[in-house]
Amino acid sequence: MLGKLRKSVAKLPFHESNLALKQVKCDACIEENGVCKCDNGGIEGMVMTEDAAGQQARSGNSSFLHAVLNMSSMLIGLGQLSTPYALENGGWGSVFLLVGLGFICTYTSHVLGKCLDKNPKSESFADIGENAFGRKGRVLTATFIYIEIFMALVSYTISLHDNLITVLSRTQIKLPGVPNLHTSQLITVVAVLIALPSLWLRDLSSVSFLSSGGILMSLVIFISVVCTAAFGTVEANHSIPFLHVKNIPAISGLYIYSYAGHFVFPNLYKAMKDPSKFTKVSIVSFAACTLLYTALAFLGAKMFGPEVNPQITLSLPRHHFITKIALWATVLTPMTKYALEFAPFAIQLENNLPDSLSSRMKLIIRGFVGSILLLVILSLALSVPYFEHVLSLTGSLVSVCICMTFPSAFYIKLSWPHISKPVLILNLFLIAFGSILGVLGIISSAKMLIKTLLRARST
């Protein structure tokens, strides 16, 4: 049974296949009454679910091309929507920061591979943290991973809300008993409720379908922007300022978020037929994503100038057919992500439930708790509907640690007896640079978010 399930997820992008593999492992324990090796210890236990995924993946059946596609699909997501806005606000000189962060994240991905080489038993990002700094390292990395997932889901819901407003701008709905709920908020609630049953899914093929849909939507968005420029619907004739230094801390969070994905890379490494090519996979994947981000950033900024929206899809001409496709793709993307992103939480919850409960009761509890969490995320997203500020705060608060400071810190600790002085200096510099960039980004994005909230309340 497990063999068939593994084959069914082999074609998935790695982030989604990783989550699916977790489902395979832990569901098999539950349904087949096997000996479950998933730990049951809070945050630490959650990360042990990643270990289960690594156990399934270490047979190494992923080719070089497959690994490149998996890593690239993991990186491309919400970040691509905001790069034109970031470039316009930071100036075209900020592209050096975007490209530079691409180089840095490529290197830190390479460093993670080196950390895995030093301890072949490591299966996940949290394992590396534990090898370097003990149980505290595991708890810290696990905490950051799940904060990032939570904030990403909030950002997805904000994006869903913003794009629904545009795509259904002429729709007016009033619900008796809740007169204070605007049409756009009501439609967003309906959309989330439609996606809610996906949290109850345990069927692997259904989750796989959602995963494939999410990747397709990202490609549709990019192609739609290119077609809008290519067909002359909008002329790309705006001038981009050279540099706005005061905006760099805030937009750095948007840039960093675009490269977030390192916590999945150890699993990808373990799934490769030839892990020695992991560094080459990182180089190719990050180079492709950096080129895409750079092209989209310049194209969007040149097309719309200072009027560019934090989500490029909202700047496209509303009357155009291509725009409608892009908007619906952006609306559907979050709805394909909820079940996949919630999978680690749901599986860990089910494993922590008493064995005396039936599988059906465990499913009901798991689905009910997941539904409550999603409604909390919905409430937060509707209360703070400012996509660029939330995304920037996520990048500066969490992504910078997972992508830059943690990998370098892990590598220094694990390689301390043998690390050369130039490599030590490089990694210490990356830790310092990432920390400074993160702190400045948190302060800047938090200030902007607070000002926006206060301005909205005063109007």
CATH of the domain at 134: 1.20.1740.10
Q: Is residue 5 part of a domain?
A: no
DSSP for 157-170 reads HHHHHHHHHHHTTT
276-291 residue pLDDT tens: 999 999 999 999 999 9
Contact assessment for residue 117 and residue 132, using Cβ atoms and an 8 Å cutoff: no
Does residue 172 sit within a domain? yes
**What was the pLDDT predicted at 33?**
39
- For residue 203, pLDDT over 90 is answered with no
* Domain presence at residue 388: yes
CA–CA distance, 399 with 393 (Å, rounded to integer): 9
Residue 259 lies in a domain: yes
- Mean pLDDT (the chain) is 79
pLDDT class of 56 with cuts at 50, 70, 90: very low
| pLDDT digits 0-9 by tens, 218-259 | 788 888 888 888 876 777 788 899 999 999 999 999 999 999
Segment 129-140 shows an average pLDDT of: 93
Residue 33: other Cβ atoms inside 10 A: 9
In-domain check, residue 37: no
By the 8 A CB rule, do 45 and 262 touch?
no
Smallest CA-to-CA distance from 389 within 185, 151, 163 is with: 151
Q: Which residue has the higher pLDDT, 407 or 207?
A: 407
Lowest pLDDT segment from 27-41, 273-287, 403-417: 27-41
Of 289-298, 329-338, 368-377, 446-455, minimum mean pLDDT range: 329-338
Statement: residue 20 has pLDDT above 70: no
Cβ atoms 188, 161 nearer than 8 A: yes
Which of 13-22, 309-318, 423-432 is the most confident on average?
423-432
pLDDT in tens, 352-397: 778 788 878 887 887 788 788 888 888 888 888 788 889 999 999 9
Q: What is the pLDDT of residue 261?
A: 83
Question: What's the domain range around 76?
Answer: 64-458
Query: Is the distance from CB of 411 to CB of 424 less than 8 angstroms?
Result: no
Would you say the C-alpha torsion 69, 302, 103, 247 has a positive or negative sign?
A: negative
Q: Decide if 301 is inside a domain.
A: yes
Q: Are 395 and 256 in contact (CB under 8 A)?
A: yes
Mean pLDDT on 183-199 = 78
pLDDT exceeds cutoff 60 at 14: no
Whether 398 has a pLDDT exceeding 80, the answer reads: yes
Number of domains in the chain: 1
What is the structure's pLDDT at 222?
Answer: 83
d(CA 406, CA 428): 11
Contact criterion met (CB below 8 Å) for 111 and 407: yes
Residue 162 burial (C-beta neighbours within 10 Å; 0-12, 13-18, 19+): buried
In a domain, 36, yes or no: no
**pLDDT at site 173:** 63
> Per the domain annotation, does 22 fall within a domain?
no
C-alpha 185/C-alpha 171 separation (Å) is: 12
Kindly give, in sequence order, each residue whose CB lies less than 8 Å from that of residue 3, ignoring residues fewer than 6 positions away: none
Residues 298-331 as b/e (b if ≥16 CB within 10 A, e otherwise) read bbbbbbbbeebbbbbbbbbeeebebbebbbbbbb
pTM of the model: 0.78
Q: What is the pLDDT of residue 285?
A: 92
| 3-class state of residue 62 by DSSP | strand
Would you place residue 16 in the very low, low, confident or very high pLDDT band (cuts 50, 70, 90)?
Answer: very low
Report the C-alpha gap between 73 and 16 in whole angstroms.
10
**Quick check: 8 pLDDT over 80?**
no
